Structure 1
Amino acid sequence: MAQVQPVQPAQPQQHTTVIINQPMRMNPMQPHPLRDWSTGLFGCFEDVGDCLFAWFCPLYYCCVLSSKQGDSCWGPCCVPTWPTVFRSHIRGVHSIQGSICNDCMVTNCCGPLALCQMSRELDNILKGNPRALPLS
């Protein structure tokens, strides 16, 4: 007769995960890593005419800026916080690092400078400037 041996329960196998690279900080809505603005906040000497336009006619300049993105002029005219919202929108769409808190501080403390920076950013994106292209 054959002897019956008791069945031993299977040992659970242990798995080890090794992380080789740390994950990059990315915008969950964009497949590209976040980048900096292509020009600095105080880069008004790159476009003195636009800078003067933004200082003396900010509402009209906001309408021009809105049209560069393909939006209507109703946003700048009807939404008091439009520059903050638009800056955040540009950051999100074009994978630029920053935060809504930073956008709020920049647009409220340095409004015309922020408008000029957003305009230069959109111009650089439209021209295909390498500084304004997403990182790969």
Structure 2
Amino acid sequence: MTSKMVVRQPQPVMDVRESQDWGSGICQCTENMPECCLAFWCLPCFACITAKKYGECLCLPLLDGFGFIPPIGMSMRVSMRQRYGIKDNMCRDCLFATFCGPCSWCQMSREMSRRKIPIILISTKNT
């Protein structure tokens, strides 16, 4: 039995079929009213659920309460823009995360629901 050392791992490839804009506006919370209500009445719970769905640590958004600019909310928006190929800028991300926290988290949740791009790693096996 011989063993081979893998030198190069397959990299995930994302085929972007969506537009380069957010799928919904920052104030379009009426598209999913239950999420909007949860975000308004219990933002920490909603942010933790959204971060978990995004693949981040469940309690990570709880760190947003220790400063004026919420670093986790802002970095999640930047990460989501990069993942989905959304054109925007960090200044707007900072403004939305700081002054429109619940709306910003709702927009990110709607975007994840709308895009639903699974990342599938396919391993090739030589037989």
- Kindly state the Cα deviation for residue 74 of structure 1 after the two structures are TM-superposed: 3.0
Conserved? CA contact 1:65–1:119, under 8 Å: yes
Partner of 1:93: 83
Aligned AA for 1:84?
A: M
Distance 2:108 2:76 in 1: 9
Aligned pairs, number:
99
Distance 2:37 2:48 in 1: 15
Distance 1:127 1:57 in 2: 27
Partner of 1:72: 57
- Kindly state the Cα deviation for residue 78 of structure 1 after the two structures are TM-superposed: 2.8
Superposition map of 1:4-19 within 5 A: none
- Kindly state the Cα deviation for residue 46 of structure 1 after the two structures are TM-superposed: 0.6
Of 34, 37, 40, the residue aligned with 1:55 is: 40
- Kindly state the Cα deviation for residue 73 of structure 1 after the two structures are TM-superposed: 1.5
TM-score of the superposition, structure 2-length normalised?
0.70
Distance 1:118 1:55 in 2: 14
Conserved? CA contact 1:51–1:116, under 8 Å: yes
Conserved? CA contact 1:38–1:124, under 8 Å: yes
TM-score of the superposition, structure 1-length normalised?
0.65
Partner of 2:21: 36
Conserved? CA contact 1:55–1:112, under 8 Å: yes
- Listed as ranges, the gaps of 5+ residues in structure 1 are 1-29, 129-136
Q: Which structure has greater helix proportion?
A: 2
Distance 2:116 2:32 in 1: 16
Aligned AA for 1:91?
A: R
> Larger C-alpha radius of gyration, 1 or 2?
1
- Kindly state the Cα deviation for residue 67 of structure 1 after the two structures are TM-superposed: 1.0
